[in-house]
Structure 1
Amino acid sequence: MARFLEYQGKSWLAKAGMPVPKGRPASTPQEAKEVAEWIGGPVAVKGQIQAGGRGKAGIVKLVNTPEEAEAAAAEILAKTIKGLPIRQVLIEEKLDIKKEFYCSFVINNSREARSPMVMFSTEGGMDIESVPEELLIKVNVDPIKGLQTYDAIDLAVKAGIQAKDLTKFASFFTRLSQTFKKYDCQTLEINPFIMTGKGDLICADCKMEIDNSAVGRHPEFGIKIARDLPGEPTELDIIGWSIEETDARGTGFLMNMGYDEVSPGYIGYHPIGGGSAMMGLDALNQVGLKPANFADTSGNPVGSKIYRVAKCVLSQPNIDGYVLGGFMMANQEQWHHANAMVKVLREELPKKPGLPCVLLLCGNREDESLEILRKGLADLITPDGPGKRVEVYGKEHVTDTKFIGERLLALSKDYRAEKEAQGK
């Protein structure tokens, strides 16, 4: 799901007519001070990352003056949480909180429902997993009609909301339901939404995730990559997305895994299909190797698409090897993979001489495909050639993850030793 940071989600909530605190994002301590001056009172300084538990991580601070906001922003912007650097803070007015609540709309994918579902609790401000089951009210929502006023009132009554506040809560729920539908959300979580001392309901936080398949209907969002990412997209993520976005013939998936370019033991990872992907990870895990990326070329993609994915995988710096993991008998013409791999390796191996490459390919046209690989790489796969650590296997090792993992480990150790001896 394409995800928004809190300040982004709140801006879209505001445009949909939902109540949010007065505030703006800031990228520097000076900007934070200026926003606090604009608000003109005590503020909250909130680090913006795609992760929960921000309060416990110390990146949400309440301050009283613009100078304190500047100092808090400087401290928060210097932090990295769960491997994610904090590049922005949200400065917003400090709220007069009388009571905190939890509300979210999600997609209920169970066979009995297959519809949106609203969850509401009078215990807000904590992780949903921590809310006692008896205090979390769940109601499936008609995907055509949406949440009706009478449904919203029933929801509030079940949760024990006082009669004088039922209309107020019902209005909040129905407007949030309309926002969820309008923006094609997968998740719209407000935790907490609060009741102020004056009795107003305000969205104090926001987690908004958009259905990847619906991103094309919302150019206003400016989403570059309609895909789950833990943080900002890398150059590899952007290139990988462009492969899939511009060519619908089969799957050509590629994304960054956040590998450490300095540490040894990372392998350029290129499985063929979901089952192969799991078995390939098993092959690496068994011998202590790690995937530098995630990729997939399945569903009978054309050679040009396979070529682009493999080219990206092999272009990653300081990887200790590459694996083409066809750990299942693929129901596709494998000579597409063979031709693409010949072209890629002939281009890339001279740049990384001796790089271990274990190619496991099986399925339709297997014999022909293996012959294409062996003949096409014959002059490289020599004792002194740039492809001296290229090994090609077929169906005899289709489920033998241990064997493939051990070959990769042995070849990568040899490769690292050779590079160290050369002072690289």
Structure 2
Amino acid sequence: MSKLYEFQSKKLLKEGGIRVPAGDVASSPAEVREIAQRIGKPVVLKIQVWLTGRAGLGGIQFAETSEEAEDAASKMFGMKVKNFVIDKILVEEKLKIKSEYFAGLVIDDSKKSPLLIFSSAGGTGIEEIARSHPENVSQISIDVLTGLREYEARNLIRKTGISGKLLLQLSDVLTKFYKVARHYDARSAEMNPLVLTEDNLVYAADCHLTIDDYAVFRHPELGIEVAREFDRPPTLLEKIAYQVEEKDYRGTFYFFQMAEEVSKDEKLIGFHGAGGGGSMMSMDAVLARGFKLANFCDTSGNPSASKVYRASKIILSQPDIRGYFASGSGVASQEQYHSARGMVKAFHEEKLSIPGVIRLGGNFEEKAIEILGNYLKDIPAKVEGYGRRDSPEFCAQRLEELIKENQSACYEVKSVVDPALPPNCYSFETLTGKLAIDHEKCPDCGTKGCIEACKAEVLKLEDGKPVLSVSPEEAKKGKCTECLACEIFCTFHEQDAIFIHLPIPGLKEYREKIIKKNKA
């Protein structure tokens, strides 16, 4: 689930007609001062993190003047709060609160409907309040076809002992709250506290929304860069990786960095899993050997070879790793030769200088292991392929031995080099890239094996040269599956005339930053 910050959530509530405190988000102490001056009243400063209990972490401060606000902010910016470094502070008017309430909305999977909870005794420790004072807490399952109707909201609040004008105010807020959450496909939402001020107005003093990952594409206005549940802001490399997943529906590509800053004496490796359970078991095997994981990666659900290629390139964009370990489920139904071809292309482009152990268990694993063995002989480092009968523990042991043979050398991130294609080469667009063929080399090809290698049958011979057998539009829509088989065959058996360019937006610039940092 994708979490929104408090300031983002409040913006949505305000647009939905719910009253929120006057204020704005700041990125510097000077901005904090400016916002406090604009408010012209005592203010509260709140760090913007996806955490609860901010007050106990020093993340909520009060100030009577703009000068005090600026001074407090100067101490708050740059704070390390769990996995967050504070770079945003919400500055708001300090409300004069008469009483506090709680409103929370979650999706009840058992009933397959939204569940709205209201408390007239606030929301701090809502579970305990519900146990010890059940008369103060009520809930209702909402029919998504009708939404939360006003009389239902009134009845919900009335059960907690509230009546009169306050009942009407709160019921109006709850119906609007539900509409906001429903419109933005929230899996959970809460206003905690929802407050009544001394001038008898209801405000959402704090609120949080969590958006369904699968609905994020419907809400580009929210600016969610990575539709994943994180306990920290996503790294730049994670953002680059997510773009690959977002734009290619074939299989899953999940990438999460686990050790962005490490010392060079640590046994750091790149991890490439396939399937959740098998990946966890494989991670345990390498961790038991004293390795530290630079990342977690999962390519499963029958990904294309091009997707696995991009995953490998992204894993190899992390400096100072000493080995590459790929292992996951031993019984995956996906064709393992797609993964093998993706890695072969990536490792050759990278001129891989650190050892790799690749365990590909599942359909056609023998063919996949053969591909790895045949086409990774000439790269600087040794890469070994294994199948389901080889345990993750054995494979982890082999990686440890290979790293020792390689004298524990660390990987150096290389620049992304754009392909130097002949100006008049034959080419067509694929679903996520471009396939180019240098027809000037084709007369010297004795086998024309690229045609047989292309199981999707999108290539045919015309005057002794491979060309599209389908329209360019069909190839671009996915008829060309980007299996990489034609390129692998031509590169290693014939004239090296075929190249499939699979760009990764942002990776070239990212690597240049890493290279520059390492040289400094």
Structure 1 length as normaliser, TM-score?
0.90
Moved more, 85-94 or 140-149: 140-149
For 1:368, the equivalent position in structure 2 comes to: 367
CA shift, 1:198, in A, is 2.0
Matching of residues 175-194 of structure 1 within 5 Å: 175-194=176-195
Give the letter aligned to residue 377 of structure 2. A
2:18/2:204 contact within 8 Å kept: yes
Bigger drift between 81-90 and 164-173 goes to 164-173
Secondary structure, counterpart of 2:116 in structure 1: strand
- Give the Cα–Cα distance (whole angstroms) in 2 for the partners of residues 166 and 185 of structure 1: 25
Unaligned ranges ≥5, structure 1: 381-385
Aligned to 1:286: 288
Q: Is the 8 A contact 1:121 1:136 kept in 2?
A: yes
SS at match of 1:30: helix
Q: Residues 224-239 of structure 1 correspond to what in structure 2 (within 5 A)? A: 224-239=225-240
* Alpha-carbon distance change, 13 to 415 in structure 1, aligned in 2, over 3 angstroms: farther
Shift of residue 9, structure 1, vs aligned partner: 1.1
Provide the residue aligned with 1:322 in structure 2.
324
CA distance in structure 1 between the partners assigned to 2:103 and 2:93 by the alignment: 21
Kept in 2: contact 1:268–1:319 (CA 8 A): yes
Further displaced range: 260-269 or 404-413: 404-413
Separation in 1 of the partners of 2:140 and 2:288? 44
Specify whether residues 372 and 99 from structure 1 end up closer, same or farther in structure 2 by C-alpha distance, changes over 3 A only: same
Superposition deviation, residue 85 in structure 1:
0.6
Q: Are the structure 2 counterparts of residues 234 and 418 from structure 1 closer, same or farther at C-alpha, using a change threshold of 3 Å?
A: closer
Using the TM superposition, name which of 324-333 and 254-263 deviates more. 254-263
Measured in 2, the distance between the counterparts of 1:129 and 1:259 equals: 37
2:340 to 338, 341, 348: 338
1:67 to partner: Cα distance: 0.5
What's the counterpart of residue 301 of structure 1? 303
CA distance in 1, matches of 2:91, 2:407: 49
Cα distance in 1 for residues equivalent to 2:137 and 2:335: 51
Task: Name the residue aligned to 2:140.
Answer: 139
Could you say what secondary structure the match of 2:55 adopts? coil
Superposition map of 1:355-394 within 5 A: 355-380=354-379, 386-388=380-382, 390-394=383-387
In the TM superposition, what whole-angstrom CA distance separates every residue of 1:230-252 from its partner, at most 9, and x where no partner exists? 33332211221111122212223
Give, as a single letter, the amino acid of the residue that structure 2 aligns with 1:117: L
1:402 aligns to 2:393 (yes or no): yes
Following the alignment from structure 1 to structure 2, what is the Cα–Cα distance between the partners of residues 118 and 331? 41
Cα drift, residue 73 of structure 1 = 0.7
- Could you tell me which residue of structure 2 aligns to residue 15 of structure 1? 15
1:323-363 per-position Cα deviation (integer Å, ceiling 9, x unaligned): 1113321112111111111122223244xx2x231110122
Secondary structure (helix, strand or coil) at the match of 1:53 reads: coil
Q: Deviations over 1:360-379 (max 9, x none)?
A: 01221121111111111123
Matched, 1:247 2:240: no
CA root-mean-square deviation: 2.2
Residue 163 (structure 1) shift: 4.5
Instruction: Identify the range of structure 1 (235-244 vs 124-133) with the bigger mean alpha-carbon deviation.
Output: 124-133
Q: What secondary structure, in the 3-state scheme, does the structure 2 residue paired with 1:92 have? A: strand
The one-letter code matched in structure 2 to 1:123 is: A
Secondary structure in 2 matching 1:396:
coil
The aligned amino acid for 2:169 is K
Residue 442 of structure 2 aligns with which residue?
none
> What is the distance in 1 between the residues matched to 2:21 and 2:402?
58
Distance 2:229 2:103 in 1: 23
Q: State the partner residue of 1:53.
A: 53
State the match for 1:90 in structure 2: 90
Contact 2:372 2:384 in 1 (8 A): no
Determine whether 1:3 maps to 2:35: no
Q: 1:268 to 1:20 in 2, by over 3 A?
A: same
Cα deviation for residue 285 of structure 1 reads 3.5
Task: Give SS of 1:226's match.
Answer: coil
Query: 1:411 deviation in Å?
Result: 4.2
Is residue 112 of structure 2 the alignment partner of residue 119 of structure 1? no
Q: How much does 1:265 deviate?
A: 3.1
Give the direction of change, closer, same or farther, for the CA distance of 1:137–1:341 in structure 2 (3 Å limit): same
- Whether the 8 Å CA contact 1:261–1:319 is kept in 2: the answer is no
**3-state SS, counterpart of residue 334 of structure 2:** strand
Alpha-carbon shift at residue 413 of structure 1 (Å): 5.7
Give a deviation string over 1:86-138, Cα, whole Å, max 9, x none: 1011110000111111111111112xx01111122223252545544335433
Aligned residue pairs, count: 408
DSSP-derived class of the 1:319 partner: coil
What amino acid is aligned across from residue 364 of structure 2 in structure 1? R
Alpha-carbon distance, 1:312 to partner:
0.6
Counterpart-to-counterpart distance in 2, 1:123 and 1:81: 29
Aligned equivalents of 1:254 and 1:172: distance in 2? 39
Tell me the CA shift for residue 226 of structure 1: 2.3
Whether the 8 Å CA contact 1:267–1:319 is kept in 2: the answer is yes
Max Rg structure: 2
Change in Cα spacing, 1:182 to 1:412, as seen in structure 2 (3 Å) is same
How do 1:10-89 and structure 2 match up within 5 A?
A: 10-89=10-89
Report what 2:271 is aligned to.
269
1-structure distance, mates of 2:357, 2:128: 46
Conserved? CA contact 1:59–1:76, under 8 Å: yes
What amino acid is the match of 1:403? F
1:229 counterpart letter in structure 2: F
Q: Is the contact made by 2:321 and 2:410 (CA closer than 8 Å) also made in structure 1?
A: no
Which AA in structure 1 matches 2:234? P
TM-superposed deviation, 1:174: 1.1
Are the equivalent residues in 2 in contact too, given 1:327–1:360 (CA < 8 A)?
Answer: no
Asked whether the 8 Å contact 1:259–1:266 carries over to 2, the reply is no
State the partner residue of 1:383: none
SS in structure 2 of the partner of residue 322 of structure 1: strand
Distance in 2 of aligned mates of 1:52 and 1:416: 46
Which position in structure 2 is the counterpart of 1:198?
199
Letter in 2 for 1:272: A
Query: Contact 2:320 / 2:410 at 8 angstroms: preserved in 1?
Result: no
| Residue number in structure 2 paired with 1:216 | 217
